[in-house]
Amino acid sequence: MLNFQCLKFMCVFIFTCINIWPIIGADLSIVINASDDETKMPPVVASTNTAQKLILVESIPVSISLPPKKAMITGIAGQDGAYLAQHLLNLGYIVIGTYRRTSMDLSRYFWRLDKMGISHHPNIIFKTCDVSDSSSCFNIFQEHPDVCEVYNLAAQSFVKESFTTQTSTLDVDGKGPLNLLEAIRQKNKAIRFYQASTSELFGKVQEIPQSETTPFYPRSPYATAKQYGHWMTVLYRESYDMYACCGILFNHESPIRGEEFVSRKVAKAVAQIKKGIQECVELGNIDAKRDWGFSGDYVKAMHLMLQQSTPEEYVIATGKTYTVRYMVEKAFARVGMIIRWEGSEDQERGIDTATSKIVVKINPKFYRPAEVDLLIGDASKAERELGWKAEVSADQLIDMMVDAEMEQTL
C-alpha cells in the first residue's frame, strides 16, 4: 500500500509540474487541492514572492525554489537608472547595473543610488560597460549569461550639449543600442530588450498630441542619434524575432535630475534665491511647452513593457503640457514668492513682487540652435494595454522638487 501511495504521489506531482510550470514562471503561486469533487476549480492566489512557489498535492506540501529574475540596467547611475533599480529590487530582481569606467570616486558617481539607500543592496551588482564599444557589450553578456531583461538607459541625454558633442552622442545614443542588440542576438536571443527612446524624436511636431504613429522630425543631434537607436531596435525585432521594444518617454523629472536640466535648475535656483544664496536664475526659451511627469512613475512603464506577450512601442506621458514660464511661477509660489513679468524677448525679466528684485533673466546663450516648441503625449495605448497611468501631476512634481531643494539648502 505504501509503495502504491508513493507511486500515485509521484505521478500526480510530475503531471502537475508539467502542466503548471509556465504559470509558475509567470510569477504566480498556485495551490492545487486534489478532491473527489471534480467540479471544484483549483484556487489561484497572486504572490509577489518569485523565489518560493508552493504546490499542495493531496494536502502534501512541496516547495519549489526558483531563482529570482536577473535584469541588467545600463546607465544605472542616472536618474531613471536609480528609480528603475529601486523598482526592480522591490519586485525581487537581482540587478546588474552597468556604468562607464570613470576616474571619479564611485561614492560620488553613485550619489543617486546612495540617496535612495540602494547602493549597498545585496541584490545589486555593479559592472563597467561602455555601450559604445561592441566588445564591452559582448563581454558583459559572457559574464552574465542568465540575464533575462535588459534596460538600455545609457545615454548622453542633455540636448543642448549634443550640438557640440555630435560624434560621442551618436556613439552612445545610436551605436550603443546596436551593440547591445547584436550581443544579445549572438549570445541569447531569449533576453528581452528595452530601448529608452524620447519625445525629442517628434521635434518639429507633425500632429498634436504625439502618439506611437506620429512621424518623427528630430531637431537635435541627440534626437537624431536616438532615432537611429529606435529604428535599430525595431529592425532587430522584425529581422531576428527578438523581444525588443522602445519606450517613447516624454519629459520626466525628479529631485535627483541632473542640474543641467531646466526643471532641476529652476527648483534649485528658487530654493537658493529664497535663502539669499543666489540673486537670480538665467534661462532660455521660457515659452517652450513640455509634457512633464515623474521619473518614479515612468520607470514602472518600462518594466511593464517587457512583461507583455508581444513587444511593441509605447508613448509614456501625462497628456498635459506646460510652459517653462509656468514652471518658474509655480516653483517660486511654492516658497511664497509671486513673479511679475516685465519686458519682452531677450529683455524680459521676472520680478519678485514683494521686493521688486529681478529674480529671472533671459539669456540667449541657453537657446537651442533648433528649438522644439511643443511636446504633449498621447499615452492612451499604454493605459489601455499596460494598465499604466501617470500618478504624479506636474504641480505635484514641481512642489516635490522645490521642497527637496529647500531641505538641501537649509
Catalytic one of 149, 200, 253, 405: 200
As given in the structure block, the three cell numbers for residue 350 are 521676472
Give the relative orientation of helices 295-305 and 79-90 as an angle to the nearest 10 degrees: 60
* Strand ranges, E, within 113-243: 124-128, 149-152, 192-198
Catalytic one of 222, 236, 298, 314: 222
CB atoms within 10 A of CB 34: 14
Distance CA 12, CA 77 (A): 49
Distance CA 388, CA 318 (A): 11
Distance CA 323, CA 285 (A): 9
The label of the residue with cell 512634481 reads 397
SS3 content of the chain, % helix, strand, coil (to 5): 40, 20, 40
- Cβ burial 356-370 (10 Å sphere, 16+ → b, else e): eeebbbbeeeeeeee
**Please, are residues 89 and 73 in contact by the beta-carbon 8 Å criterion?**
no
Q: 291 by DSSP, 3-state: which?
A: coil
Can 200 be counted among the known catalytic residues? yes
Q: Could you say which DSSP state residue 353 is in?
A: T
Catalytic one of 74, 198, 214, 318: 198
Distance CA 303, CA 194 (A): 9
The label of the residue with cell 495605448 reads 381
Give the relative orientation of helices 394-409 and 262-274 as an angle to the nearest 10 degrees: 50
Can 243 be counted among the known catalytic residues? no
What are the CA-CA distances from residue 354 to residues 124, 332, 337 (Å)?
A: 49, 12, 7
Can 222 be counted among the known catalytic residues? yes
Q: Which amino acid is at 19?
A: N
As given in the structure block, the three cell numbers for residue 31 are 495551490
Distance CA 81, CA 258 (A): 13
Q: Which amino acid is at 160?
A: K
Catalytic residues: 198, 200, 222
